[in-house]
Every structure is written in C-alpha cells, then in structure tokens.
Structure 1
Amino acid sequence: MNNDNNTILGFDVNLICEYFLSTERQGPGSPEVTLKALSFIDNLTDKSLIADLGCGTGGQTMVLAQHAPGSITGIDFFPGFIDRFNSNAEKLHLQDRVKGIVGSMDDLSFKEESLDLIWSEGAIYNIGFERGVNEWRKYLKTGGYIAVTESVWFTEERLAEIHDFWMSVYTEIDTIPNKVAQIQKAGYVPVATFILPENCWTKHYFAPQAKAEEIFLKKHVGNKTAEELVASNHHEAELYSKYKEYYGYAFFIAKKIK
C-alpha cells in the first residue's frame, strides 16, 4: 500500500475501502486464528489497554473483546470502516470497552508505555513490518505484547510469476526466520509464530468477497476502474490457488521485556 498518493496497486484507497466495507474481515484470518494468537498472551486484566491497528470493520477486534479483558481501541484511516466498527461493537454490547477512532498507524496518539497489547491483522504492511514493530514498541509497557500477521515466503526459492507479483505489491515479504530476526532486533522476545491455515484465505477472505463484489458493481455500473479492481481481486485469488505452497500469512507474537 502506498499512502503517500492514496493508492493501493494504482487504485484509489477510498474505492478499495468501499469494496471491503461489507466484509467482516479485510484480510486473511479467522476467529480461530485470532483466538490461537491470543492464547499466547498472558497477564491481561480488566484494566489492560489494547490497540488494534488497521482494525478495518473490526472482525478480529470483536473476537478479541469477547475473549479478553480490558479496553480496546481500534484505529483505521477510513471513516466508513470505523462507523461499521462502532456499529458492530454496539450490536454485541461491547461499546463500553471497545471504541473505533479514525487515525493512522504511523501517527498514533497513545502515550508511550501505555499499552498492554498491540494487535494488527493483515495491516502492518501499510507502513512496513520492520518499521511497524520498531515504531510501535515505544507504546508498549514492559511486559506488553505485540501480535501481528504478515505476508511471508514459505520457501527460499519460488517461481517467477508469484515472485514478480509480490515484488510489485509488497517488497518486504520475506521468510519467517528473517521476520523473527527483525522482531528480535527491534527489542522483543519472540513468543510464538505460526502459519495461517488455507481456510483463512479461502473461506474467510476470498469467499465473502462474492457478496461484496455484487454490492460494489451494482453501485458502480459501467465504471471501468471499479471493474478493474474486481478483476484485480480475482487475480489475487487465482494466484493464491496456484501458488499457495510458496507463500501465505504468518502470525507473530512477541513480548517487550524492558
């Protein structure tokens, strides 16, 4: 993603956000995976402060709130996502401790050493993994955790088509050991790392887009850019089906010890 000119893959950010507005998750993941990552995090209490950065409409945030104590602040730059986020919190009667606000993950307003947990599923790429884990660390208390998902290579070598695709969209994609090394270099102790299963992509990410696509195209009949965006998403799904043994998402959980 390139926020400097408000585009992703050449598409206007607002158009992309509108497309994903009706989906529960805006990236690969699942409730089961969110809970698995949460299982590695301890010492949360009713007084804990949690931030979900790049929260989208809050699919993963609501799962967190239903299974972890503390107050959660969701941050996303797209107002439509935050409106839906807060609406979802109200529907689940979580509004007393779950609140979404419009903001940017590269300009956070939290006090330093104020957070017990920083969460980010499918979003840290917006500013880059290495930058994110380094810059966000100052907001964590000693003993606080960071839990993020990130695109990774499963193999040291891969075919040119999928390699070239990822180099065109996110050059920071790397192997899991190299990502763990970046976490350690940033001053965390790695706690757990695991690969997201295939259904996080197929069942929970690609499949729900069918309904979103229908709504989106009805609203933008004859809009070539909208049609190109849908085609781009189809291409992404096709590439995953073809090359899923080479890449995917991994969850990284780490702890700040001093």
Structure 2
Amino acid sequence: MIDLFVGLDRLAPGSAEALRWALGVAGTPATGVVLDAGCGTGADLATLLAAVPRGRVVAIDRVERFVARAGARYPRVETHVADMAEPPGGPFDLIWSGGAIASLGVGAALEAWRGHLAPGGRIAFSDLCWRTDTPPDAAQAFWPEERVERLTAPALEARVREAGYEILGSRWLGTPGWASYYGPLEVELDLSEVEAEAVARLRNEIALWRTHGVNSDIGLWSARRPAHDVTLALPRATSMQHMSSLECIMTAATVSLLRTGLPGLTGPCCAGYAVLALARGRP
C-alpha cells in the first residue's frame, strides 16, 4: 500500500488555501517554529515554509519513505521519522496535522502535544466529520470497517475543549480539497500493480464520496493552549528573547519546579487515509 502513495504529492484531502486560513486564525508568527505532524510526502510544507520565512519547519512521519520524499522536495525542512506523540525539535509555536490526527485520536493527540508547545503555542488540524446526525447506512457501514472513528463537528469540538484548549476558529474543507486528493489517486490506481483487493477498497471509497459526500467533510480547527496551562515545554535556547519579562519569569520558575519533581506538573479520512493515518501513529 505504501508503494501506491509514495509517488503522490498529497496523501489526504486538503488544500493550500485551507491551510493558509488555519495559519491565519492561529496567528502564526513569521519567526515561529512549526511542526507538521504526519507530513506524508510534504503536501503542506511549501505553505508552512511561506508562513514562517524567518522561522523553522519540522516535519515528522512514521513512514520512512514518505519522510525521505518530503525531505528531498523541501531541503529547508528538518525531517524526522518519528512518533507523532513524541515529536523532536520543539518546543513549537504551532503544531499542524493535516489529516493524520486520526492515528492518535483528537483527545490523545492534543494531550500528547501539550508539553511540546511553547508558551502561548497553537495547534491546527484537519479531521473527517459527519455533517449530519443521520448519515446514510452505506457510509456508516464503510468507515468502522476501515478503523476510522467519525464524529460530528460538535462532538469533536467537545473533545478539544475537554483536552483544555480554546477553539479559535473552524471551517469545512469543501469539494476542491477532496478532488485534489482523489483525482491524482484515481490516476495512480489505474497504473498501480498493488493487490486488487486494496485497489477495490480505494475505488469504493471514492465512489462513496461521490454518492454520499454531502453527508461528511474534512473539518479544520485552530486552537490555543490556555495561558494558565502549567504543562510547559522546556524553552528553546533562543526563545527567551521573544518573551515578555513576565513570561520569562514564569517559564524559568516552572522549569525549576519540573526539575525538582514537584507533584502535579508534567513535563488520511478514507480507506487510504485510514491506512496512512494508522501507519503514522503509534504501533
């Protein structure tokens, strides 16, 4: 299955326009350090690089061949084969995950990323959601078989808030973002020598979208960690110069408490999408 996807530029529904919206809502600084969690072959890296011209972009995925291709396409990006729950290279001003958060689950991912965010850090992600409370039987039957949990947007937003984040904005991806993924994938399926069963599953998935796509979509969310959150990542060597005096004092105090061990402180939406998301997640 990896052979089928490694030649694609986009491994899940999405678009540069939608990502720019998410970055704008998150208020990503030009000097920021950004993580692409589940980067695939690098679909979003050009947009992320443009958003932080004086910053740094780190990209991780569990699939070595995806990471190698992403690094070859964008040499300026720091790439790693790594677990999304334990990303190297932080702390981050923004963690972005385009279509890969399903590998951990929204609640688990947001909890894991808390300690990797810089003070005031933001997260942005996309995930597959129902747009109706009564989805058709065919769609309901397809996704559980592919090990993809599908929520309504209100249910997903409840999980974001339960994880302690404040939602800054949300929107739907829309048809063009799906076509940008399924179009090239269909071409690849026509040429692929992947086993017939896998090809059939993917064709069924595309047919399902064309028939019942109005009942679901990719949602995008931007959110921030509350200012009072004491789960702080250790500061970057250069981060203090970008902080206010009060933030420096608070960070230094919290790091001191962490080092003394004070109790209570802690340091793609389809068959193919599902396979890739699970491959990028924890074993």
Instruction: Name the TM-score, length of structure 2 as normaliser.
Output: 0.76
The structure with the greater share of residues assigned to strand is 1
Query: Of 52, 65, 86, which residue of structure 1 is paired with 2:71?
Result: 86
Instruction: Determine whether 1:232 maps to 2:201.
Output: yes
- Do the aligned partners of residues 83 and 52 (structure 1) sit closer, same or farther apart at CA in structure 2, a change above 3 Å counting? same
Distance in 2 (CA, whole Å) between partners of 1:235 and 1:257 is 42
- Are 2:11 and 2:40, in contact at CA under 8 Å, matched by a contact in 1? yes
Instruction: Determine whether 1:24 maps to 2:9.
Output: yes
Kindly report which structure 2 residues correspond to 1:198-213, keeping only aligned pairs within 5 A, or say none.
198-202=175-179, 204-213=180-189
The aligned amino acid for 1:29 is: G
Residue 207 of structure 1 deviates from its aligned partner by 0.4
- Are 1:23 and 1:208, in contact at CA under 8 Å, matched by a contact in 2? yes
- Are 1:206 and 1:237, in contact at CA under 8 Å, matched by a contact in 2? yes
Q: Which structure 1 segments of 5+ residues have no match? A: 1-15, 221-225
1:257 alignment partner in structure 2: 226
Count of equivalent residues: 226
Aligned alpha-carbon RMSD (Å): 1.6
1:123 alignment partner in structure 2: 100
Distance in 1 (CA, whole Å) between partners of 2:80 and 2:28 is 26
Residue 171 of structure 1 deviates from its aligned partner by 5.0
Kindly report which structure 2 residues correspond to 1:47-196, keeping only aligned pairs within 5 A, or say none.
48-69=32-53, 70-90=55-75, 95=76, 98-110=77-89, 114-170=91-147, 172-196=149-173
Distance in 1 (CA, whole Å) between partners of 2:67 and 2:113 is 21
- Do the aligned partners of residues 208 and 17 (structure 1) sit closer, same or farther apart at CA in structure 2, a change above 3 Å counting? same
Query: Which whole-Å deviations, capped at 9, do the CAs of 1:149-182 have from their partners, x for residues lacking one?
Result: 0110101111211111122224531111111111
Distance in 2 (CA, whole Å) between partners of 1:54 and 1:168 is 22
Distance in 1 (CA, whole Å) between partners of 2:16 and 2:225 is 25
- Are 2:28 and 2:94, in contact at CA under 8 Å, matched by a contact in 1? no
Query: Which whole-Å deviations, capped at 9, do the CAs of 1:66-92 have from their partners, x for residues lacking one?
Result: 2333211100111111111011113xx
- Are 2:106 and 2:160, in contact at CA under 8 Å, matched by a contact in 1? no
Query: Which whole-Å deviations, capped at 9, do the CAs of 1:191-238 have from their partners, x for residues lacking one?
Result: 011011111112x11101134334532xx5xxxxx2221111111100
Distance in 1 (CA, whole Å) between partners of 2:107 and 2:186 is 33
Q: Which structure 2 segments of 5+ residues have no match? A: 228-283
Instruction: Name the TM-score, length of structure 1 as normaliser.
Output: 0.83
Aligned-partner SS, 2:211: helix
- Are 2:96 and 2:125, in contact at CA under 8 Å, matched by a contact in 1? yes
Distance in 2 (CA, whole Å) between partners of 1:178 and 1:215 is 39
2:27 alignment partner in structure 1: 42
Identity of aligned residues (%): 27
Aligned-partner SS, 2:29: coil
Distance in 2 (CA, whole Å) between partners of 1:172 and 1:142 is 31
- Are 1:147 and 1:251, in contact at CA under 8 Å, matched by a contact in 2? yes
